[in-house]
Amino acid sequence: MAHAQVFPVESLLKPEQRGPGSGFQVRLFNAKGQFLRMAKADEVEFSVQGPGKISKRVLPGGGKGWEYATPKSLAHTSVGVTAKFGKLVGSARIRLVPDYNWKFDFSDGQVPSAGLDAGTATFRSIMTCSRRLRRRTRSPDSSTFT
pLDDT digits (tens, 9 = 90+) for 42-67: 899 999 998 888 888 776 666 677 88
* The pLDDT of residue 127: 56
129 and 89 within one domain: no
126 and 93 within one domain: no
136 and 67 within one domain: no
Instruction: Flag residues of the chain having pLDDT under 70.
Output: 16-21, 59-63, 111-146
Nearest to 127, CA basis, from 119, 135, 138:
135
Instruction: Indicate the number of domains in the chain.
Output: 2
* The pLDDT of residue 76: 78
Q: Is residue 105 part of a domain?
A: no
pLDDT digits (tens, 9 = 90+) for 66-79: 888 887 777 778 88
Q: Is residue 43 part of a domain?
A: yes
146 and 121 within one domain: yes
Query: Strand pairing partners for 3?
Result: 29
* The pLDDT of residue 102: 74
Separation CA 8–CA 40 (nearest Å): 16
Separation CA 47–CA 69 (nearest Å): 13
* The pLDDT of residue 106: 74
